[in-house]
């Protein structure tokens, strides 16, 4: 394990109505080697989660949002971080010992690196998530980076350069959650930053049985279309809209998904800023390799 100067990264944890899971995750994170500041953002829980955290871990900075802000609550957590890097996880995710030290070392050694996306191992089996297998086989040019280059990352299991997070404005609140990192990834790479996958930076993910998979699917499709119209050339945006429409149709959620998408599209278009041909070529290469 590499020796890292204490306080180089702040762990930012999101939680919402996961009382027992949040307590368990924080107990684990507090026991990690090293001195990692922890900031918890409670997303408007109504099950007593913030009170339980405050009672059990009075030394942890706890921020109580009045309502569920989704992924944008990470913006609040980062605002309270006073370290050059932030390590994101939710209350269903735990960083393995040594993972943060390795991520910090990669960021220290590679000035153009903005994000290290972790290898997410799922549940007790420890099998890598399918998305991680795809990341490991990224077709993008390596560019002497310390891992496969990406045009995306796992929002709830990554370590990010704090100044890069601020440079792109954090997470866009209307996304709520579900693919919320796609816009940030495009904006980071457009500004010259790089994103890599690190197979030896490991986070464990314990999915909740109570998760609403249908809601998440609707949000993923809606947000993918919004991102396309916010950053992609018109032809590519139409193509992505068609792909996502077919996905919604095949899942039987086309009308509810498309209604939400259409209602929010004017706001997305007001934030339209088309990416450069170079970044669009990277995105097109990724799409053609799937």
116/177 Cα distance (integer angstroms) = 20
């279309």: which residue's tokens? 225
d(CA 289, CA 24) in angstroms, rounded, equals 39
Give the CA diameter of the chain.
54
Q: What is the pLDDT of residues 134-175, one digit of tens each?
A: 999 999 999 999 999 999 999 999 999 999 999 999 999 999
Sign of CA pseudo-dihedral 210, 213, 214, 219 = positive
**Which pLDDT belongs to residue 211?**
63
> What is the total residue count of the chain?
290
- Does residue 6 surpass a pLDDT of 80? no
Q: With a cut of 80, say whether residue 7 has pLDDT above it.
A: no
pLDDT tens digits, 38-63: 999 999 999 999 999 999 999 999 99
Closest CA to 130 of 119, 140, 114, 139: 119
99 and 15 housed in the same domain:
yes
pLDDT of residue 139: 98
Domain that holds residue 250: 213-275
pLDDT, residue 250, reads 95
65 confidence band (pLDDT: 50, 70, 90): very high
Kindly report, residue by residue over 208-260, the tens digit of the pLDDT: 766 668 899 999 999 999 999 999 999 999 999 999 999 999 999 999 999 99
Last residue of a domain, one of 205, 240, 255: 205
Asked, for residue 267, whether it belongs to a domain, the answer is: yes
Q: Of the candidates 184, 279, 176, 288, which has an alpha carbon nearest to the alpha carbon of residue 240?
A: 288
**Binning pLDDT at 50, 70 and 90, where does residue 2 land?**
very low
First to last CA, the chain: 35
Q: 201 and 217, same structural domain?
A: no
Same domain for 54 and 22? yes
In a domain, 151, yes or no: yes
3-state secondary structure of 60: coil
* Within a domain: 3: no
Same domain, 178 and 220: no
On the question of pLDDT at 5 being above 70, the answer is: no
Same domain, 110 and 152: yes
Q: Identify the domain boundary among 163, 188, 205.
A: 205
Structural domains in the chain (count): 2
- Considering the domain architecture, whether residues 56 and 178 belong to the same structural domain is answered as yes
- 26 within a domain of the structure (yes/no): yes
The closest alpha carbon to 287, from 242, 257, 226, 254, belongs to: 242
On whether both 187 and 229 belong to a single domain, the answer is no
Cα–Cα dist 54/60, whole Å: 8
Residue 77 forms part of a structural domain: yes
Residue-level pLDDT at 1: 39
Determine the average pLDDT of the residues in 275-285: 98
Q: What is the pLDDT of residue 246?
A: 96
Which CATH number goes with the domain that contains 93? 3.90.550.10
**What is the model's pLDDT at position 207?**
86
Residue 169 within any structural domain of the chain: yes
Q: pLDDT per residue over 266-278, tens digit each?
A: 999 999 999 999 9
Q: Give residue-wise pLDDT tens across range 14-25.
A: 999 999 999 999
DSSP reduced 3-state for 6: coil
- Judgement on whether residues 137 and 235 belong to the same structural domain of the protein: no
Question: What pLDDT is recorded for position 124?
Answer: 80
Q: For residue range 84-112, list pLDDT tens digits in order.
A: 999 999 999 999 999 999 999 999 999 99
């Amino acid at each position: 394990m590499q020796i890292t100067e204490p306080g180089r990264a702040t762990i930012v944890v999101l939680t919402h109505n996961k009382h027992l899971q949040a307590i368990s995750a924080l107990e684990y994170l507090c026991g990690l080697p090293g001195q990692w500041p922890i900031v918890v953002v409670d997303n408007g829980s109504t099950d007593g989660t913030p009170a339980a955290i405050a009672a059990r871990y009075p030394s942890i900075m706890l921020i109580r949002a009045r309502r569920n802000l989704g992924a944008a609550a990470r913006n609040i957590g980062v605002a309270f971080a006073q370290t050059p890097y932030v390590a994101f996880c939710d209350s269903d995710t735990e960083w393995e010992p040594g993972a943060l030290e390795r991520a910090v070392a990669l960021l220290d050694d590679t000035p153009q690196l903005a994000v290290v996306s972790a290898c997410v191992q799922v549940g007790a089996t420890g099998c890598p998530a399918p998305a991680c297998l795809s990341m490991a086989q990224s077709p993008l040019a390596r560019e002497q980076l310390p891992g496969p280059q990406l045009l995306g990352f796992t929002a709830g299991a990554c370590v990010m350069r704090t100044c890069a997070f601020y440079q792109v404005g954090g997470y866009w609140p209307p996304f709520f959650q579900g693919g919320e990192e796609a816009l940030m990834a495009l904006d980071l790479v457009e500004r010259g930053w790089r994103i890599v996958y690190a197979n030896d930076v490991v986070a464990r993910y314990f999915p909740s049985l109570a998760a609403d998979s249908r809601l998440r699917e609707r949000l993923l499709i809606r947000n993918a279309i919004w991102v396309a119209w916010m950053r992609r050339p018109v032809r590519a945006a139409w193509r992505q809209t068609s792909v996502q429409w077919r996905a919604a149709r095949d899942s039987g959620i086309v009308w509810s998904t498309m209604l939400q998408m259409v209602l929010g599209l004017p706001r997305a278009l007001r934030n339209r800023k088309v990416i450069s041909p170079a970044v669009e070529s990277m995105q097109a290469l990724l799409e053609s390799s799937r």
